[in-house]
Amino acid sequence: MTMPDWLASLHNQLGPAGLLTNPANVEPYAIDWRRLFPGKPLAVARPANTGEVSAIVKLCHAHGVAIVPQGGNTGMAGGAVPDASGGELVLSLSRMNTIRSIDPVGMTLEAEAGVILKTAQDAAAHVGRLLPISLAAEGSAMIGGIVSTNAGGLNVLRYGMTRALVLGLEVVLADGTVVNGLRHLRKDNAGYDWKQLFIGSEGTLGITTAAVLRLLPQPKDSVTALLSVPNPQAALDLLACLQNTLGDSITACELMAGFSLDLVEKHFSFSRPIADGEWFVLIEAASTLSGLREAAETALGDALEQGFALDGTVAESGRQATELWQWRERITESEAKEGKSVKHDVSVPIPQIPAFLVAADEALARLQPGTRVNCFGHLGDGNLHYNVLITDHHPDAVNAVVHDVVQRFGGSISAEHGIGQYRVAELARRRAPEEQALARRIKMALDPDDLMNPGKVLPRHLQDVS
Ligand code: FAD
Ligand code: 2HG
Ligand code: ZN
């Protein structure tokens, strides 16, 4: 099949490494991590710099071609893959992988969108600083994807979501205009803080080409413990009890059902460091000051004495801490190996977690008794991954049942993964009309032709919606 003229001219401009058209080469970019949303890219553009991104976007704008930005393609909502029409261009940021600067005094790191999160973390650590964004996909997820999904992860309890760590952004707008807001400033109230619109917008408003991230001092000491708890309420009591003593040195507090650990044991053959139980909590504290370990061990002893935890193990070395974290970080892969699942990335007000779990379990049992739920997540953020292993029911029916309960508890149907294409209909069904209308006005202002990742976050053809 011959290329349209505009694509041929793009090919000349970007060179063979910059534009992939061969079906075998574009195939890896066509489907999401969960393999739920197979698409068909028109081609894959791989720009080497911001100027090339701008040139691609200008050309697409002129020819009415939709663009799907893609980073590490680890997203959980099908946001980074094109539809099946064969008409959407995937724009991969993977060749834009330069860390432009690290400033240990001003504590900032400026990175292009295609820098892998782990590479950025390591670069910060190399100068004694911490980039605290951390998630199990950090070996593949890229800064542009992290920013564009406003990723959460394992350290939100102490450091906040990605949004809290972004100081500056460079973006390419839907008409190809480059907007450089790469300021390394802690305080900047000069006009609208427009970068906030792009953070978490999942590529629907423009393309993030680089970001300035905030760094922190690297902790000198950390303590990691895995505890079994009798129930989710005890897990919350445990967290509160530890916070009373350890304050905000607690960086992570992750809840895992016994079933989640069973899955990891089954699919990775790890041997359990702790007796079997119904629920587990993985907790980590970190400090730049000395004395953390003694304080943490005393606090954990008190929590055990008060019955908030039944059993526990504290990592004695960095290697043991990594091993404990494997129980948490391997859950997603274990679930995928187990088979298909219907994922829910929900949040509810933190004190409501135990009641939410009871209500969700009851509602699911009414739909189908005996359904297996892989429930784990970021307890300290009120964010649970309440994943239902495949049932006889259509995923939409399962979503509806769980999200009805979430809504009753005043929660969110997407705490950290975003909407992508997976949750578009659910969001449209559940968001107040005024909020939806406001979102459409923002989209129409920045991307009136609906060419930036159409059909993600918002339904397609906004022009047709009154
Ligand atoms: P992609 O998947 O490539 O893209 C995600 C979205 O951002 C898409 O809509 C895409 O179009 C858009 N996008 C990507 N790059 C750009 C750009 N430069 N400009 C504009 N738009 C862009 N997420 C969490 O929040 N917390 C977790 O704990 C977590 N754990 C995970 C664990 C595993 C094992 C896996 C597979 C995923 C996990 N995720 C988690 C989800 C995922 O890693 C995050 O959403 C991550 O931020 C996606 O980064 P990415 O580079 O892979 O983005
Ligand atoms: C995590 O917390 C990720 O590990 C993935 O957000 C959650 O697999 C999931 O549903
Ligand atoms: Zn998560």
Residues in the chain: 466
Cβ(387) to ligand 2 under 6 A?
A: yes
Residue 328 confidence (pLDDT):
98
Looking at the domain that runs over 221-332, which CATH code has it been given?
A: 3.30.70.2190
Q: Mean pLDDT of all residues in the chain? A: 96
pLDDT in tens, 344-358: 999 999 999 999 999
The reply to whether 339-417 shares the fold of 221-332 is: yes
Q: What local confidence, expressed as pLDDT, does residue 1 receive?
A: 61
As given in the structure block, the two tokens for residue 50 are 């911001």
Question: 154 C-alpha vs ligand 1 centroid, how far in Å?
Answer: 14
At residue 368, φ and ψ (nearest 5 deg) are -155, 105
- H/E stretch holding 54 reads helix 50-63
Mean pLDDT for 276-288 is 96
- Domain segments of the chain: what residues? 5-92, 99-217, 221-332, 339-417
- Nearest listed ligand to the Cα of residue 151: 1
> Counting Cβ atoms within 10 Å, is residue 167 exposed (0-12), middle (13-18) or buried (19+)?
buried
- Read off the pLDDT band of 462 (50, 70, 90): low
pLDDT at 393 (0 to 100): 75
Distance 385 CA to ligand 2 centre (A): 6
Tell me the C-alpha distance between 421 and 225, whole Å. Answer: 37
- pLDDT at residue 266, as a whole number: 96
pLDDT in tens, 25-74: 999 999 999 999 999 999 999 999 999 999 999 999 999 999 999 999 99
The whole-number pLDDT of residue 78 equals 98
Phi then psi dihedrals of residue 322, to 5 deg: -60, -40
Average pLDDT over residues 303-324: 96
Q: Is residue 464 pLDDT above 60, yes or no? A: no
Q: Indicate if the pLDDT at residue 466 is higher than 50.
A: no
State the pLDDT at residue 465.
53
Beta pairing partners, 347: 383, 412
Q: Which fold has domain 99-217?
A: 3.30.465
Q: Looking at the domain covering 5-92, what would its CATH class be?
A: alpha beta
CA 80 to ligand 1 center in whole angstroms:
8
pTM for this predicted structure: 0.97
Nearest CA to ligand 1 atom 22: 203
Cβ neighbors of 414 (< 8 A, separation 6 or more) are: 77, 345, 346, 423, 427
Instruction: Give the nearest ligand 1 atom to 201 CA.
Output: 21
What is the CATH number assigned to the segment(s) 339-417?
3.30.70.2740
Mutate to test the pocket of ligand 1, among 52, 98, 148 (most ligand atoms within 8 A of CB): 148
